[in-house]
Structure 1
């Protein structure tokens, strides 16, 4: 998928996920919901608007708040009992909570109990499951990868297997979706599961009985040497283990000769602040300010670098774009403000609000903004929000006004200015502006390529191709070896074009195909690499086409540059 459209789609994901929709099961028509929902509402209102003890709860102000909550309950009861159509009372309560939070800021959010576990998985960095990657193809659950050491691998499952039943329930041909797969395969660590599997080329069903395990979700999604001295480390989020993963990646790359590093934070929507701070600490010398936070009810808290850090003397370039947000902006801001790195790419998202997760009595969760974070020079990079501002439209405005194609020097004309120790001017109030701007790379783009990118053609073709020719790829033992030695031939490309025409109804446009040929081949190779190895292999394959990485290499190879 071209970077231009990927950036748009990823931005939509970040913004929507920060305002997570509620899951609204239908009501049963009774009033039993009042018993269960009232403690939740009372607790939520108390947390949102007051920091008071039990001794103050009988104050006049508290009684007024209780009356307001009772009024909400009364209105919803009246609606449920008298409205022209049937209504879901719990859904009305949830919408009132979400409406209240929306008046505060775009990132405070309420997460219902049934969604808490899933929403925390990426942050926690692990989940209970079987350890496979999959696609749903022709209404069948297909295994694309089996994670080494995971329960599924230990049980004997292989790439290309078809899972036709889970715990005796037939799942083939029932319109299964991704959520349905997760509901059946995920579960408590150590819980039993039975998978009924058909192997490629066989009509026999084999049963696999085993226990679910603890499956890691890695946030360092690639660590490779791209020259004799320059390594690149891609971080997709800041989970509970990101700092440990990063430290391990640095250690391994240093063994391979890394003396300079590219830190790729593009499409990183954030996560835990403490692991982001620890990653920034890897680059900063002891005593350097990394970040500070402050709010009306939260005293100023400063965090400084320690004496630990493998990269303190290592030149570094940081890659960012409009989907670099929150915790990843803490890292890039800290390194920019301390004159420690060159920031390359496009203006970041602009999220400078800190949320604290608060568990409510029923197990649901409120993530409430409690403070703002500030970079070492004192700037807040939170972009504007509130009445009259369409927060979600910000990215489209960037796209429409051409900011993604060329540097816009007018963005920060009225923004507060700050100065780094070496005299560089930086700006607050709307994301972090890179030191070196790199426009979106649209080279090789065409109408045909766009249609292919927005279809399932790559995914489906590569799965089917490997299903027939997997033995041809057994000689490639690592993703690096595959990347160095395998090339997509013209014949393979034509086979793909014919497949897309027959199965995806995408008619070939020969002029477009010739113009986009290199992109099409690269995307095919990346998809094959993803199925043969880890997802990070896709990143490795795309490096030669990655303009930001090439610019970063150029900067790091300049001998006079001090980073």
Structure 2
């Protein structure tokens, strides 16, 4: 079975929130409508034509807005303390208007955010083949290393901390600046210094094209198909992997969509078509006027299996939930894991000439059986939970934030849970950091070559996350109880 990375559920990471610095935006934006505007299913994109509609808003309303804007930009006392006051006011007005709708999935994305999002949905990229997140300020942790990627070949692993790139420490960089340093031309090499369990290691990695949305492996007669997202190339990638699994003699299939937060509707239709056959209902879309549109599979080659099992968790959302429900209700697939996220709304994107984007909700999707899953999710047929250490959030601590034994904090819950998973003698796993747990932490710190003071800080949490990843990867068959159950059901 192919190894996976530990899945950190620190918070529900919405990529726009990764960007801390405010970006300049132009005061005036000219709406750009492409020949084929794409629309989002559950927060992502699919091909469909979008027609611009206008609403009559009185000149008086706009006059009030511009009067306030003009007054703020010329007479506001604290304006003298603001860089680029006019751009800041416009950005604030746009976000305020968007937020006033009360819909978390209707949002305005500034140019850098829009570019990052669009790039993430292309399905392939030139890089080294890792995903990472900012665990605390300036501390970047690799959360996933893609199979057959340059990063995997170089020996990078999930849980590694990116410490320096090309000899430059990254502690003062933003997550986008780190990405810019990692990117480069195909064939070029980059030196990355990582920290693994408190040890510094340097790796030289060659950049090349990486496909990041689909992986597969074989377990006896069971094929394992892992779909991370529904990107532009996912449909054709899934077809290629299904061909390989069939050639390998796989009669049953496990589709792993844990932490798959969505993708292109066209990709979902392609994947569903390969598994369900032609003219099968995938989902329905209900718009604001009550019009319901059916979306069905295409007439393409179908890959049949004796048993289908779908693996999900609380990070399985939107388009991934579409396929989960369709396979469950139309193909009698067994769903294993924990309840899905529950993202069942449809968004349309509008792109502006400066590269920014506005996406807004236009409808809600419904399962083939008529169920709405928005803010509800999909319950598994067989519930299987991973060890709490593998799903519990790691708090972000400031560099000078420290918790000593006999104190109460969210960090204590995480650290004590991590220590228990690693076999250290903690006496509790709640928010109270006990004296006994402090002694257990000292044992861990001593083993890692750290100062054995028994205190919780950001370095301790980073090291523990690395240790958990090492343990997970070394004993995957033992700890991935969800996959184990899915394969068992497939074989049954």
TM tier relative to shorter chain = 0.5 to 0.7
Residue 124 of structure 1 aligns to a residue whose secondary structure is coil
Q: What is the match of residue 13 of structure 1?
A: 12
User: What TM-score, normalized by structure 2, do the two folds share?
Assistant: 0.66
Deviation of 1:197 after TM superposition, in Å, equals 8.6
Paired residue for 2:477, among 525, 543, 551?
543
Which of 79, 82, 97 is matched with 2:75 structurally? Answer: 82
- Is the contact between residue 260 and residue 314 of structure 1 (CA under 8 Å) also seen in structure 2? yes
Structure with the higher fraction of residues in strand conformation: 2
Distance 2:370 2:171 in 1: 56
Partner of 2:427: none
Residue 556 of structure 1 deviates from its aligned partner by 2.4
Give the counterpart of 2:97 among 96, 100, 105.
100
Q: 1:39 aligns with which of 6, 25, 29?
A: 29
- The answer for the alignment partner of 2:111 in structure 1 is 113
**Which structure 2 residues correspond to residues 145-160 of structure 1 after superposition, within 5 A?**
none
TM-score of the pair, normalised by structure 1: 0.59
Distance in structure 2 (CA, Å) of the matches to 1:349 and 1:299: 25
Establish whether residue 262 from structure 1 lines up as the match of residue 254 from structure 2. Answer: yes
Listed as ranges, the gaps of 5+ residues in structure 1 are 27-32, 44-49, 200-207, 384-429, 459-493, 509-518, 530-540, 559-563
Report which of the two has the higher share of helix: 1
Relative distance call for 1:445 and 1:327 in structure 2 (3 A) is closer
For the residue of structure 1 that corresponds to 2:28, the secondary structure is: helix
Cα drift, residue 62 of structure 1: 3.1
Please report how far the alpha carbon of residue 448 of structure 1 lies from its aligned counterpart in structure 2 after TM superposition. 9.4
Distance between the aligned counterparts of 2:282 and 2:193, measured in 1?
A: 53
Closer, same or farther: CA 297–142 of 1 in aligned 2, 3 Å: closer
Which digits, 9 at most, give the CA deviation of each residue in 1:405-442, with x for residues without a partner?
Answer: xxxxxxxxxxxxxxxxxxxxxxxxx1112222234544
- Once the 2 structures are TM-superposed, how far is the Cα of residue 195 of structure 1 from its aligned partner? 6.0
Deviation at 1:123, TM superposition (A): 0.9
Counterparts of 2:129 and 2:386 in 1: how far apart (Å)? 35
Alignment partner of 2:335: what SS? strand
Q: What are the equivalent positions in structure 2 for 1:343-354 lying under 5 Å apart?
A: 343-354=335-346
Alignment of 1:53-452 (within 5 A): 62=56, 64=58, 66-85=59-78, 86-87=81-82, 88-104=85-101, 105-129=103-127, 171-172=168-169, 175-176=172-173, 178-186=175-183, 215-220=209-214, 222-226=215-219, 228-296=220-288, 300-383=292-375, 430-442=376-388, 450-451=414-415
**How big is the shift at 1:20?**
7.4
Q: Which runs of 5+ in 2 are unaligned?
A: 34-49, 195-203, 393-410, 423-441, 457-464
State the 1:557 CA deviation.
Answer: 2.9
Range moving further from structure 2, 109-118 or 288-297: 288-297
Rg larger in structure: 1
Structure 1: how far apart are the matches of 2:233 and 2:32?
35
Shift of 1:42: 12
Cα distance change, pair 523–497 in 1 and its aligned pair in 2 (3 A) = farther
Cα distance between partner residues in 1 of 2:276 and 2:62: 49
Structure with more relative contact order (C-alpha pairs < 8 Å, separation 6 or more): 2
- Tell me the CA shift for residue 106 of structure 1: 1.6
Provide the aligned length of Structure 1 versus Structure 2: 406
Question: What is the CA-CA distance between 1:521 and the residue it aligns to?
Answer: 8.4
Change (3 A) 1:304 1:549: same
Deviation of the 1:287 alpha carbon: 2.3
* 1:219–1:238 Cα contact (<8 Å) kept: yes
Question: Superposition RMSD on alpha carbons, in Å?
Answer: 4.9
Per-residue deviation at 1:450?
A: 4.3
Could you list the per-position Cα deviations for residues 426-464 of structure 1 after superposition, in whole angstroms to 9, with x for gaps in the alignment?
A: xxxx11122222345449999999428879xx9xxxxxx
Q: Could you list the per-position Cα deviations for residues 196-240 of structure 1 after superposition, in whole angstroms to 9, with x for gaps in the alignment?
A: 8999xxxxxxxx9x9x976334112x42223x2122222222111
Query: Does the Cα contact within 8 Å between 2:145 and 2:152 map onto a contact in 1?
Result: no
Q: Distance in 2 between matches of 1:21 and 1:445?
A: 24
Question: CA separation in 1, counterparts of 2:287 and 2:484?
Answer: 40
